Structure 1
C-alpha cells in the first residue's frame, strides 16, 4: 500500500463510521479537547516535545505572512504515526520512553489553524475544515486528506508541518508566544536530543537561534554551553552545570489512583535532572528564576 493509499484508507474508514452517533460525538469531543489547552502557544511546546521524541537534533519555527512552518530532522512519519495522529487519545508512544504519549498533543494545533498540513516520510496530507459541507458535525480534525502539491516550499528530507493561521490576531498572539519570556534557550537543557532551535519571523526580519553544545562530561556531572543568536549576532553565551540521575518510581506513586488514571503505572524509572548556571570561572550563579526550571522539569519529564 502506497502512502497515498494508506491516507485514503484511513479517510474512508473514518467516513464509514456511524455519522449520527460516532462521528458527531467525536466532533464534539475534539472541540472540547482543543479548547482545554490553556494558551495560544501551547501547540508550540507539543511540537518541541514531538520533535525531541522523534530524535530530532534541530527544530525550526518559521512565521510567514499568514502561516507557521515547523520543521525537524527527526525520524520521519511511519504508518503508526499517521494512524495515531488520526485518532483521539491513542498514541504509538509509551510513557516509559517518551515525553509526550497521550495522543492528544497535536490537537492543540486546531486552536489556531483550520488546515494543518503534514509532509514526512513520503506522506503528505492535511486536515481541512473547509473541505466538508457540515464541519460542525464532522470530525474533520482526524480525517486525513491527501495533498498533491504543497502550498509552501518544503524540505523532503525533514518532517514539515505547515499551519495556515485562522486570523491575523492569532498571528500577533503567536509572535508574543515565541518571545524569550515564553520560549527561551533554557528549554534545550531538558531536551534529550534537540541541540538547536531556530525561530524565524519574515515580517519582523528577525531570526533567533539557540544552540546547545557539550563542554565537558564526567560520570558525576555535565557542563553545556548555551548560545543565543539574533540575526546571526551572538547575544548571550552561558554555561550550565547539569546533574542527572535515574530514580526508581516508589511503589506508592505507581499505585496511586491519579498515576493509574494517567496511565503512568508501568513507568519503573525516571530521570531527575537539575541545572545550575555558571559564571566565566565556573562558579555557581544564584538564579532568580530557578523555580521556572523546576516547573519545566516537572511538567514535561
Structure 2
C-alpha cells in the first residue's frame, strides 16, 4: 500500500492534473469549489460547533475516553505571519485513506446515509467551515501531514480541496511542545493560523463555550479550552475543562431508558458540577411529518434532561433546546429538550415551521409525562422532603415561542388527565400518600400552580393550607414543608407519650437542626395533655 505522502501525490496527480495528464473534470471541480465558497460565506456557520460535530462523528478505539482539546497560541508556528494560531487535538482513530479522499472533494461526505448509526453532521460543510477563520488549515493524522488553501492552486486553479504535503512549519515536535511535552500527541491535530480579523471573535467564541455542550453527545467525554503563551499574563481566553460521566443506564422498556449523567466544568472561578436525570424515548415518525432530509429515519429519539440543582453556565443564558449540540433558544422550561431537529444554518434555532420539527415537538409532552411519572415512582420510598423538587420540573412559565406553549399546554392536559399527582399512591390510604399529596398541594400553591393540581385535591381531599396556617400561627410564615398525620385511634396516647418524653439533649450531636419544639394546639388549652 502507498505511504501517506504517496497517496497525497496520487490525489494531486489523478484528480487535479498536477504533474500528470490533464483531467477534463478539473474545470467542473473549479466551479463546484466556487459554489462551495459562495455557500460557505453566505451562511452564518459556527465553526466551533462544526468541529465538535465532526469529532462526535469520528471513530475511537475501545477503552479510550474520546476527547477534544482547543489550544490557542500567539506563536506563529506555521510561519504564515499569523497573529494567533488555533490547534485542535482529537484522540480519534485518525484519518483513513477514505477520509482524506473525502476531504479533498466537494459534497462527498463519508457520513451520508449513516443517520441511523448516530452521525449528527448533515450540512455538507463540516471541516471546510474552518475556512471562515483561516486561509490555510493544516491536518496531521495517521502519518498524513497536509494543508489546504482557500486561494486557487497555481497548478490547477482550484482552491479549498487541493492537498499539499507539509515538510516543515509546523513540525510535529513544535506541535508537541504546545500540547505538552510529557503527554502523547493524539492521533489527529488540526492547525489553524487565524485570519487577522478573526482572532478576537475566535477568542470570544472559545471563552463562551457552554459547559453543557457535552450533555447530549454519546462519544465525546472531555472537552477543554486553554491558551498557550510564553507569558501567561498575555492570556485573554477563559480556560475551561468539561467532562461528562454516565452513572448507569436503566432500561424501562423497549422504547425508553433513563440514566444519570454528571457534568463537571473546571475553570478559573472554580469547579462546577451538576447531575442530570436523563430520559430517552423513541417515537415512530408519522408519514405526514416525513421530509427529504430525513427520509431514511423511521423513529424520533427524544431525550429530556432534568437538572438536579443549578445548571452549569458561564454567565450566559442556558439553552433549552439541543440538536445534539446547543442552540441559542431559551425556552423558560425547567428541563432541556434534545432531538434530531432540523436547524437554521447558524445553529442558533430550530426551524420552527418545519413539519419534521413539529412532529418531534408533538411527542415531547408524552415523553415528559413518561419521565415525570417515572421519577415519582422511582422515589416512592424516599422522604417527602426529597420529592418536592420534582414538581419544580413542571413548565409553569410561558415560553417566548408560541409552538412551545402548545407543548406546555399539552403537558398540563396529559398530567391532569392521568391525575398524576396522585396516580398509584392512592391504592392504599397510607401515610405516605397523604404526605406526598400534601407536599404537592403546598408546593403548587406556593408557586401559584393550582391549575396543575387535580380537582380532588382542590375540592378538599387534603386539609386546606389556611387551616394548617391557623394551627401553625397566623402571624408566622408557613415553612416550606408540612407533613400532616391523622393518627390511628390506638396511636393517639402512645404518640402523646413519646412527644412528652423527648429528651432535651436530642440536638446534642446533630450538625444541622438548631431548634426542635413540641406543643399541643386545642381551642381550650385546659385539654392539652
CA RMSD of aligned residues (A): 2.7
Contact 2:135 2:193 in 1 (8 A): yes
- 1:31 and 2:37 are equivalent in the alignment: yes
* Residue 279 of structure 1: aligned partner: 309
Shift of 1:291: 2.7
- 1:9 and 2:10 are equivalent in the alignment: yes
Shift of 1:84: 1.1
- 1:49 and 2:53 are equivalent in the alignment: yes
Give, in whole Å, the separation in 2 of the partners of 1:205 and 1:53.
27
- 1:191 and 2:217 are equivalent in the alignment: yes
- 1:153 and 2:185 are equivalent in the alignment: no
Give, in whole Å, the separation in 2 of the partners of 1:20 and 1:143.
11
Shift of 1:20: 7.7
Alignment partner of 2:226 out of 200, 204, 210: 200
CA-to-partner distance for each residue in 1:237-282, whole Å, 9 max, x for gaps? 111111112333323333xxxx22x3x21223342211111128xx
Give, in whole Å, the separation in 1 of the partners of 2:44 and 2:126.
12
Q: 1:157 to 1:63 in 2, by over 3 A?
A: closer
Structure 2 matches for 1:227-242, cutoff 5 A? 227-231=264-268, 234-242=270-278
Give, in whole Å, the separation in 1 of the partners of 2:262 and 2:102.
36
Q: 1:33 to 1:13 in 2, by over 3 A?
A: farther
Shift of 1:102: 4.7
Q: 1:15 to 1:206 in 2, by over 3 A?
A: same
Give, in whole Å, the separation in 1 of the partners of 2:304 and 2:85.
36
Structure 2: gaps spanning 5 or more residues: 18-22, 61-65, 75-83, 177-183, 229-234, 252-256, 311-316, 328-337, 351-529
Give, in whole Å, the separation in 2 of the partners of 1:162 and 1:146.
14
Contact 2:136 2:150 in 1 (8 A): yes
Give, in whole Å, the separation in 2 of the partners of 1:123 and 1:268.
38
Aligned residues: 280
Shift of 1:11: 1.6
Give, in whole Å, the separation in 2 of the partners of 1:25 and 1:186.
40
SS of 1:96's equivalent in the other structure is helix
* Residue 145 of structure 2: aligned partner: 124
SS of 1:174's equivalent in the other structure is helix
- 1:176 and 2:185 are equivalent in the alignment: no
Q: 1:147 to 1:247 in 2, by over 3 A?
A: farther
Contact 2:138 2:192 in 1 (8 A): yes
Shift of 1:156: 4.8
Give, in whole Å, the separation in 2 of the partners of 1:145 and 1:269.
43
Contact 2:88 2:190 in 1 (8 A): yes
Give, in whole Å, the separation in 2 of the partners of 1:15 and 1:205.
40
TM-score normalised per structure 2: 0.49
Shift of 1:99: 0.6
- 1:75 and 2:88 are equivalent in the alignment: no
* Structure with the largest fraction of strand: 1
* Residue 107 of structure 2: aligned partner: 89
Contact 1:59 1:70 in 2 (8 A): yes
* Residue 279 of structure 2: aligned partner: 243
Contact 2:71 2:86 in 1 (8 A): yes
TM-score normalised per structure 1: 0.83
Shift of 1:235: 3.1
Contact 2:94 2:142 in 1 (8 A): yes
Contact 1:120 1:156 in 2 (8 A): no
Larger radius of gyration: 2
CA-to-partner distance for each residue in 1:214-253, whole Å, 9 max, x for gaps? 234322411111111114x633111111111233332333
SS of 2:266's equivalent in the other structure is strand
Give, in whole Å, the separation in 2 of the partners of 1:62 and 1:265.
39
Contact 1:239 1:277 in 2 (8 A): yes
Greater CA drift, 151-160 or 183-192: 151-160
CA-to-partner distance for each residue in 1:113-133, whole Å, 9 max, x for gaps? 111011112211110346834
Q: 1:99 to 1:293 in 2, by over 3 A?
A: closer
Q: 1:29 to 1:230 in 2, by over 3 A?
A: same
